[in-house]
Amino acid sequence: MIVFRPTLRFAVAHPAHWVAFGFGAGLSPWAPGTAGTLLAWLAAWLIGAELATPVGLAVIAALYALGVWVCDVTGRHLGISDHGSMVWDEVVAFLLVLAVVPMTFAWQAAAFVLFRFFDIAKPPPIRWFEGRFKGGWGVMVDDLVAAGYTLIVLAAVQRFFL
């Protein structure tokens, strides 16, 4: 099966594309979702503790709403509603995870591994959410559920093992 690979030219042709592709991270030929998650991790380190404040959480909510629109527009332009190059969903969902977990490398690395696992494996009901919601909502919501799974596992580890 031949999969359309968006180009840099396509990515910059519309502001929604550029954001949906995580400012170019989604154009990575290898593991674009991981590249988008790494972009979120870098952004969280640059933002620092402000990410976990009410203002930081409000910004994440606004970025989520923006993601619904940019992923909807980009998916329609691509003709593929949830193309792998659209990584804004990973960026926003992982920013939410990083707003909650301790700001240490060990916790954030564990969060990274778990988030990528849940995003790729899509255990129930993640795939159900992805199929139930269409367009930008469908793109964004499955990563939000993967973020929730990540936080639940990390909370259980902290509660029962640390």
pLDDT digits over 12-25, tens only? 999 999 999 999 99
Could you give the percent of the chain with pLDDT greater than 70? Answer: 98
Q: Residue 118 to residues 35, 69, 126, 143, 148: CA-CA distances in angstroms?
A: 16, 24, 8, 8, 10
Give the single-character DSSP code of 33.
H
Residue 11's pLDDT is what? 96
Domain segments of the chain as ranges: 8-161
Residue 3's pLDDT is what? 64
Residue 127's pLDDT is what? 82
Residue 131's pLDDT is what? 78
Task: Report which of 117, 122, 116 is spatially closest to residue 138, judged by C-alpha positions.
Answer: 122
Distance, in Å, from the CA atom of 148 to the CA atom of 142, rounded to the nearest integer, reads 10
- State pTM to two decimals: 0.94
- Angle separating helix axes 32-47 and 88-100, nearest 10 degrees: 40
